Each structure stands twice: as C-alpha cells, then as structure tokens.
C-alpha cells in the first residue's frame, strides 16, 4: 500500500489506539487523571485558530495568545506565591534542571543538593544535566544536610513529596539561605490551592508541571512545565516570559494599566477568591482523608503524617494479593521495591473508585459511611498548620467567566486577535509552517491515546508501542538512520540529547578528551547553546560570502583540534537556504579527524524523499516533528524533537528510571525528559502524515516546497535581491533570504518596518534578521497554492513601491505607512487623522485587502524597550471590560 486515504487512516489508527487499555491509574509521580472541560477540548485543543499560530514574536497580531499566556503566568505566580513566572517549560524534570542551573549561574558553586523524596524521573533529568556541566549532585535527606561548607549552589526538594508527605521546609530554607545556597521547590499547583504556598517557606524558585490543571495524561505529554521565582532572580529566569508594555499610540498591549504584582494582590481584595478548582478540591480532599482513615481502620500502615492526595501504604495483605485484586479491578498502583504501595488520587475519582481501593487493600468499608465520620474531617489538611490562608486567583480574569457562554466568548475574543494559518500563509523561514490537517489531528483526542499514564504497564500501552515502532521505521527510512529516540520534546532538546550521545560514544571508546564542537557562524542559536549545555567547547567555523560553509576554515579547525574534536553541527540545506554541494566532503573531513557529525534536521522539508542525512555522512539529527512532520506550532509549542542516529550511537540514546525505552542493557548517559517517550500524545500526527502521503506523496511535497520557494524568489527578483543562491544552479532550496538592508540608507526603512507593514496586508512576517541581520527569510512550504504565493509576493511588491515613494520623496521619510505600521482599526476610523497619507493607503493597501476579510492588528506597534524597562509579567488589574 503506497498511501492511505483519510477515512481508512482514521479506522486504522483507531484500531492501533484501542490496543491501549484504559485502566484507572493511581500511580501519581507527577501524572494525574483530570477532567478536561469539553469546551476547552473543542474550542482550543481541536481548533486550528488556536493551534496553528507561531510563537508570538510579532505581538501586534498575537495579542490573544499573549493574554492567555499572561493569565497562565499569573496563575502560577499566584499559586506558588512567587513574584514572577515564565510562560512554560518543557516538563517538570526540565524545569527542575533549569532551576538548579540557575542557582549555579548565580553563585558558581560546584555542588547541588537534591532531595531523595523527589519523583525519580526528576532526579534523573537533573543528574543528567548537571553531569555535563561538571557539577556534583548529592541526593540526600535535605533535613540532614549541613550547608555551612558554603559549596552548595542550590537545594531542590519536593512539596508534597513523591510519596505524598507534606513537610515544613522553613528551617531547611533558612539554614540554606544563611550560607548563601538558593532554594528550589518542586510542587503541585493543585495542592497549592489548599496548602501554604512554598513562598511562605522562603523558597527562591518553584517548579513543576501544570498537567493536572486540565491537560490529559497522554502517555507522558505534551504537558507544560512551570517555573516561578522571586523578583530578584527574574533576569536569570529561563524560558519565555510574557510582559505588559505599551504600543505606539501609548496604549497598553492588553489595555491594562501598568502596576506591580504586589499592588495587584492588594487591590483585588473585593473580588471573590473562589474558583471552580477550589470547590472541587475541598470535596476531593475529604475523599482523600476518608481513604486514609478507612485504610487505617482496616489495619493498613500509613506512614504519611500529612498528605495532599498521595499515600504510601504498607498493606496488611500480601503484595501479590494486592496486585491480583488491583488487576481484577483494572487499577494501576505504584509498587515500591520494599512491598509498600503508592496511591495518588485525583479529581476524577468517584465513590466507586474509592470503594474499589478499599477492596484492594482488604477493607470492607464504604466511603459513603466514612464521610459521615467526624474523624475524617479532623484529618483534613484544612485543619492543619499547612492550610493555605493567602488568597489566589483573585484577578477578575479568573472570576468573570462563570458560564459556558462567557468562557466560549472569551476564548473566541482572544482567538480573533491572532493571525494563524486559518487566515493566511505564515512564511517563516526555517520554521516550516505547513498544513496541520484535521485527519492528522483527530487521533490526538482519542481517549485511548489521552487517558494513559506514562508509567502504566507495557501490556496496557501496546497501541502506543505499535505507533512508536511504525513511526520509527518510517523516520529511519526517510532519514537513513538506524534508530530513533522519541524522548526529546523540542528541536533544542534533541540537539542536547544527540550531543550527549556523541560524548557518551567517545567516552565509551576511551576517547575522553573530545570536547570541541565546530559550529558555522550561520547556525541556529540553539546549536551553540545546546553544545554548551552538553559541556562542549564551541569553535566557530567561517561562512563564505556566498553563504556556504568555508571548507578551508573547517578543515584547518578540524585538524587543529584533531585530538579534541567531538563533533560538527551543521544544517543542510544550510540556514542560508542553499544545498551545499560540499556537504559529503565536510562530513568526511570531520570523520577523518575523529569527530562525529550532528546534522540539525530543521530543514528536512527540503530533503524528505530526495536525500537522506544518513547517506551523505551524518551520524545524528533531531527531527522537528512540529515543522516537517505536521505537528502544529501551537503558538510556541508543544513540539517533538526526536533524534535519529546511526547504529554505532544507538546504545547511547536517552534512558529512563521508570520505563526504560532502551531496555535493561542500555549504556545511556541518562535522561533528558520527564516522560520516557516525550510528548507521545502528538506522535499520531506525524504517523498519520507519513501514512497518508506515502513515499511518492512525501517526495512530491518536498519538490513542491522547493519549487514554491524558487517561484517566489524569481517573482520577487526585480524588487528584492535573494541573498544566497547555489553558484552552479542559481537556485535556492525550500526557503530563501531577501535583502532589505539597503533601504535603511535610501529610505530609512528596516526589516522590522516591512514586517509590521505586512500585517496591514493581512500577513505574518517572514523570519526577521536571521540568519543574516537586516534581512527576511521566506519559506512558503508545499501547503500554499499559487494564488496565496502570488498574494504574498504582491504584498511585498506593493511594499517595495511604498519604499520607492519614500526614496523619491513622495512619502514622508518619518511619517509613512511603513514606519507607522501596523494600523489599528481605531486609528483608521478615528475622527482625527493627521498623517500625510490616506486612511485607505493605511488599511487597504492592496486590491486583495477587503473590508469583509480584513485582519486588523489589535494594537499599534509594540514598544519592546519600554516593556523591558518596566517589567510586568502577571495580569495587571482593572479591566473595564470585565466589570
């Protein structure tokens, strides 16, 4: 079968999915069942108006997404009690590793202390990261450690811990701080609606996952990691952070007044502090308490003094008996090596579920009776010293949408502010914004994919494993590699994972000195950053005037570092948009000098079906499944960055402490993500894409992608010069860079002005100022038809004419449609218009921009510098529209 049609595909993937068995999982360990509100499932998760945007680098056409993320930051900041939070990280493990790296960056001490009561995968990810930075990780009981040596950069503990205990860390924090050690806390946002927030222990950083706040288990992801810290560390905080600023007309991005968070907390005292989750929580916690009490009455030992939703139980029955009863009830529990059993409850638990648990542990009671017992209430957290007393989620945004009617309208209002692929092409060079088809997306909502715990036994996840195996086989065929690891959650994390594999390979051969990584100066910023994270020393390689790699320079550096050469990182076709004819020689040179080749796979959209990295000499690549293989960008994630390797690197792929993808005999260097197979739940998208296209379709897609880029480059040639082309064929690859640098001199126009002006034409800008400063990089992909390509070219040609009008003095050099772009509806319909160009020129600059389809930027040009100087990254108060 060469390819599969859409209906058949859905039937097939449903069969695959149904090989997964949906048992009730009370395993916990950072992954909990939760109810995903259907309105959010349908209106956000399954809605291309929300899933197909790019990262909000062009804020004027991304205000909706930005507001959503700001709400998220406010939520995290409120619940943890810390002043600032970022707009998410890949997962809890990564967030924890970032937290400890921050501690090290701040005080440069060589040692980190990690509590032995963390989730095992968090410990592994942290250990793996610190190892490459040359840092020592001590895993210990944090209550026992002496900080007075002043050599510990940071301490990390978990609250509530992996076994469910709730401890007071005030003394540890005080002790650590008095010796200059920073304090990090992994925590559970849901628990913080009831428990004192970690800020009240004085912690500097809080991390964790927000999965259980409405995101399905999905066999491990995608889920958002969170990161919050004190104001004093904000400049060191990793990840993206949304802030409030003002636009060119002096208005705030969100129509909010600037104010610090402290003021926001105080101001909102009048608003109700009840949210749906809290009401639910109160009921939940009564159930948890009843479970513990009931098990206790039935002679099970429960060491937990205080707990939130997780218990470690020493059962009175034999463990084999417990397992058999759990099997009979189709319930997964956490089985510790010493025979004790972990149970983590969640909001989906019903009375019947609790009664089944009583049965499993040999009890006879019924929850219905226990809830009447006053002893149960005595056990509740809300009676303890840990009861949260500070308010949270007091901002009107969290308290104004009480009906489905209101929340649907709020979601739609935000959606309408953003440009996504449902409006027009997003020709971002190197980002491959292509069609994310409905058929590909549908399986992501199948319950047999969404409702599986990542640590469920293998015989319950056969569907997922079939999916992994088939996708691995297809990706190996496409790339020429022998083995795939699905653990990395992004391209950048794939780079880190691949480089660590290379290091591990060298070390296994006794080659312990190889730490030099050659990287062309045109490389994507993640390349050198990943090399540094992997503990390598970066040596830049020159790029020639025509944009190709300087092979002479490469050769001399490779020879110079012959004994220390670890690897080369290159991108092919190059970041400059050309197929470099020397690529095979370049790989050869590296191998001859004992190095390995890391090929950045972001540009696979120019290669699939035509050539394979594994054939022309590369040893390892990451594949951005959220570029070439159709996972939508989601406005900045989730994505997947699996790595493909040649067989000699296969033994060195990432492992996992709970479910090891490599089996018991692996020689892995460690773990890069919290989940063994990364964001498994979005892999059906890439699987479906490959199956529906078939080999011929995939090759055709690549050919059309290259054709489209060359077509646009040619159409634009009389107006904009393409910076780099192949010297032999005069062609570009699947993307190309146009030169706009001269306009600075002739018309005082910069790339940013053109980018903003494109919004008035209804388009998202191409990639700006990368890889060449002051230029634009265009990638049309195969998904766009000739009509759309022509529309985009017409916009750029029309903009070229506007620039000419400035050059010729027909338009004012300061106040012209480019410098003043983008134009908002408010500006254009205002009764005062004092610009030396017309309103029509401002808002309807081309024949295809029509009143009935016009996309209006909702703010005028955003002032980035102002925002950086006046950092506000939680929702500022008072929004007239809420009141």
Ligand X SMILES: *Cc1c(COP(=O)(O)O)cnc(C)c1O
Interface residue list for ligand X (CB under 6 A): 430, 490-492, 524, 526, 571, 575, 600, 602, 624, 639, 641
Encode burial over 720-759: b for 16+ CB neighbours within 10 A, e otherwise.
Answer: bbbbbbbeeeebbbbbbbbbbeebeeebbbbbbbbbbbbb
In three-state form (DSSP H/G/I as H, E/B as E, the rest C), the secondary structure along 766-803 is CEECCCCCCEEEECCCCCCCHHHHHHHHHHHHHHHHHH
Helical segments of 509-602, H only? 526-533, 551-560, 583-592
Residue 864: DSSP 8-state: H
Cβ contact 207:92 at 8 Å: yes
Nearer to ligand X, 220 or 637 (CB): 637
Q: How far is the CB of 523 from ligand X (least distance, A)?
A: 7
Residue 776 to residues 580, 755, 759, 862, Cα–Cα distance (Å): 20, 8, 15, 19
**DSSP count for the chain of H helices, then E strands:** 29, 22
Angle CA(468)–CA(470)–CA(473) in degrees, nearest 5? 105
Residue 448 to residues 344, 346, 452, 560, 703, Cα–Cα distance (Å): 21, 19, 7, 54, 36
Encode burial over 398-422: b for 16+ CB neighbours within 10 A, e otherwise.
Answer: bbebeeeeebeebbeebbebbbbbe
List the one residue out of 600, 602, 633 whose CA is nearest residue 619: 600
Cα separation, 432 vs 26, in Å, equals 40
Nearer to ligand X, 218 or 634 (CB): 634
Residue 485: DSSP 8-state: E
Angle separating helix axes 751-760 and 786-807, nearest 10 degrees: 120
Nearer to ligand X, 528 or 670 (CB): 528
How many Cβ atoms sit within 10 Å of the Cβ of residue 836? 10
Nearer to ligand X, 162 or 489 (CB): 489
Strand order from edge to edge, sheet including 111-115 = 84-85, 225-229, 205-209, 182-187, 152-159, 111-115, 136-140
Residue 170 to residues 97, 116, 856, 862, Cα–Cα distance (Å): 22, 18, 51, 42
Nearer to ligand X, 47 or 621 (CB): 621
| Residues with Cβ within 8 Å of residue 402, at least 6 apart in sequence | none
Residue 12 to residues 419, 443, 445, 446, 451, Cα–Cα distance (Å): 34, 10, 15, 13, 19
Cα separation, 677 vs 464, in Å, equals 10
Cα separation, 186 vs 230, in Å, equals 15
Greatest pairwise CA separation for the chain in angstroms = 91
Q: How far is the CB of 880 from ligand X (least distance, A)?
A: 37
Nearer to ligand X, 245 or 571 (CB): 571
Nearer to ligand X, 491 or 547 (CB): 491
Q: How far is the CB of 602 from ligand X (least distance, A)?
A: 3
The pair phi, psi for residue 332, each rounded to 5°, is -95, 135
List the one residue out of 388, 779, 414 whose CA is nearest residue 575: 779
326 SS3 class: helix
Q: How far is the CB of 346 from ligand X (least distance, A)?
A: 31
Cβ contact 626:633 at 8 Å: yes
Cα separation, 107 vs 145, in Å, equals 19
Cα separation, 610 vs 521, in Å, equals 27
List the one residue out of 495, 483, 570, 481 whose CA is nearest residue 529: 495
Residue 539 to residues 169, 310, 522, 553, 634, Cα–Cα distance (Å): 44, 49, 13, 11, 34
Query: In whole angstroms, what separates CA 259 from the centre of its chain?
Result: 28
Q: How far is the CB of 491 from ligand X (least distance, A)?
A: 2
Angle separating helix axes 683-716 and 6-17, nearest 10 degrees: 140
Nearer to ligand X, 639 or 661 (CB): 639
Angle CA(467)–CA(468)–CA(471) in degrees, nearest 5? 80
The pair phi, psi for residue 571, each rounded to 5°, is -120, 135
Helical segments of 373-461, H only? 374-378, 404-415, 438-441, 447-450
Q: How far is the CB of 306 from ligand X (least distance, A)?
A: 40
Nearer to ligand X, 209 or 430 (CB): 430
Q: How far is the CB of 627 from ligand X (least distance, A)?
A: 6
Angle separating helix axes 491-508 and 526-533, nearest 10 degrees: 40
Q: Which residue is nearest to ligand X (CB)?
A: 491
The pair phi, psi for residue 325, each rounded to 5°, is -65, -40
Nearer to ligand X, 600 or 784 (CB): 600
Q: How far is the CB of 267 from ligand X (least distance, A)?
A: 38
């Amino acid at each position: 079968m060469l390819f599969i049609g859409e209906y058949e595909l859905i039937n097939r993937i449903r069969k695959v999915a149904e090989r997964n068995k949906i048992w009730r999982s009370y395993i916990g360990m950072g992954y909990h069942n939760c109810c995903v509100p259907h309105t959010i499932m349908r209106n956000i998760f399954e809605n291309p108006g929300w899933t197909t945007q790019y990262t909000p680098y062009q804020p004027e056409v991304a205000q909706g997404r930005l507001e959503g993320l700001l709400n998220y930051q406010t939520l995290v900041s409120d619940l943890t009690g810390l002043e600032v939070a970022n707009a998410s990280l890949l997962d809890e493990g990564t967030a924890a590793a970032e937290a400890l790296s921050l501690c090290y960056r701040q005080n440069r001490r060589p040692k980190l202390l990690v509590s032995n009561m963390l989730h095992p995968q968090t410990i592994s990810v942290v250990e793996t990261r610190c190892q490459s930075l040359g840092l020592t990780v001590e895993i210990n009981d944090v209550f026992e450690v002496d900080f007075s040596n002043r050599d510990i950069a940071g301490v990390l503990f978990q609250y509530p811990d992996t076994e469910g205990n709730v401890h007071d860390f005030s003394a540890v924090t005080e002790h650590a701080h008095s010796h200059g050690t920073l304090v990090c806390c992994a925590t559970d946002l849901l628990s913080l609606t009831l428990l004192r927030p970690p800020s009240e222990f004085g912690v500097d950083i809080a991390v964790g996952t927000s999965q259980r706040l409405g995101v399905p288990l999905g066999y491990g992801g995608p889920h958002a990691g969170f990161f919050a810290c004190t104001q004093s560390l904000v400049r060191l905080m990793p990840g993206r952070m949304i802030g409030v600023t003002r636009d060119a007309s002096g208005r705030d991005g969100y129509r909010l007044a600037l104010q610090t968070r402290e003021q926001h907390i105080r101001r909102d005292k009048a608003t109700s502090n009840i949210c749906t989750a809290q009401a639910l929580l109160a009921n939940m916690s009564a159930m948890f308490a009843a479970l513990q009490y009931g098990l206790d009455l039935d002679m099970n030992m429960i060491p937990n003094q205080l707990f939130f939703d997780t218990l470690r139980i020493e059962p009175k029955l034999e463990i084999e008996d417990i397992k058999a009863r759990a099997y009979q009830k189709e319930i997964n529990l956490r089985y510790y090596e010493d025979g004790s059993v972990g149970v983590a409850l969640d909001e989906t638990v019903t009375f019947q579920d609790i009664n089944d648990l009583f049965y499993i542990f040999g009890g006879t009671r019924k929850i219905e009776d226990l809830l009447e017992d006053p002893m149960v209430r005595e056990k509740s957290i809300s009676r303890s010293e840990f009861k949260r007393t500070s308010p949270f989620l007091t901002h009107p945004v969290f308290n104004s949408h009480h009906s489905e009617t209101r929340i649907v309208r709020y979601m739609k209002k935000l959606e309408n502010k953003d440009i996504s692929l449902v409006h027009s092409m997003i020709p971002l060079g190197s980002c491959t914004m292509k069609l994310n088809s409905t058929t590909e997306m549908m399986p992501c909502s199948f319950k047999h994919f969404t409702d599986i715990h990542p640590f469920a036994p293998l015989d319950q996840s056969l569907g997922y494993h079939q999916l992994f195996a088939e996708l691995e086989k297809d990706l190996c065929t496409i790339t020429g590699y022998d083995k795939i690891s699905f653990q990395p959650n992004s391209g950048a994390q794939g780079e880190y994972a691949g480089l660590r594999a290379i290091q591990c390979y060298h070390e296994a051969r006794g080659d312990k000195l190889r730490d030099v990584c050659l990287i062309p100066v045109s490389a994507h910023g993640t390349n050198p950053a990943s090399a540094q994270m992997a503990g390598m020393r970066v040596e830049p390689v020159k790029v020639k005037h025509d944009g190709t790699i300087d092979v002479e320079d490469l050769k001399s550096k490779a020879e110079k570092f012959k004994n220390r050469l670890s690897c080369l990182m290159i991108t092919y076709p190059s970041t400059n948009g050309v197929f470099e004819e020397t690529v095979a020689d370049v790989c050869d040179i590296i191998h001859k000098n004992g190095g390995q080749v890391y090929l950045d796979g972001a540009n696979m959209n120019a290669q699939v079906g035509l050539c394979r990295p594994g054939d022309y000499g590369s040893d390892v690549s990451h594949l951005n499944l959220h570029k070439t293989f159709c996972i939508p960008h989601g406005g900045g994630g989730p994505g997947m960055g699996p790595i493909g390797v040649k067989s000699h690197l296969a033994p060195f792929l990432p492992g996992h402490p709970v479910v090891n993808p490599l089996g018991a005999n692996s020689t892995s260097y460690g773990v890069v993500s919290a989940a063994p197979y990364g964001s498994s739940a979005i892999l059906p998208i890439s699987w479906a894409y490959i199956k529906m296209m078939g080999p011929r379709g995939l090759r055709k897609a690549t050919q059309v992608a290259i054709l489209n880029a060359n077509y646009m480059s040619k159409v634009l040639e009389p107006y904009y010069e393409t910076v780099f082309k192949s010297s032999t064929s005069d062609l570009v690859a699947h993307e190309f860079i146009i030169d706009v640098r001269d306009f600075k001199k002739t018309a005082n126009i910069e790339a940013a002005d053109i980018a903003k002006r494109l919004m008035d034409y209804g388009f998202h800008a191409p990639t700006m100022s990368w890889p060449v400063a002051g230029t634009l990089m265009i990638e049309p992909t195969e998904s766009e038809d000739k009509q759309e390509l022509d529309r985009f070219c017409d916009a750029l040609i029309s903009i070229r004419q506007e620039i000419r009008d400035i050059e010729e003095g027909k338009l004012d050099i300061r106040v012209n449609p480019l410098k003043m772009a983008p134009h908002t509806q408010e500006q254009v319909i205002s009764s005062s218009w004092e610009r030396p160009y017309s309103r029509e020129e401002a808002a309807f600059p081309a024949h295809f921009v029509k009143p009935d389809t016009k996309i209006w930027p909702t703010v005028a040009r955003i002032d980035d510098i102002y925002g950086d100087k006046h950092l506000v990254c939680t929702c500022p108060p008072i929004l007239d529209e809420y009141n």
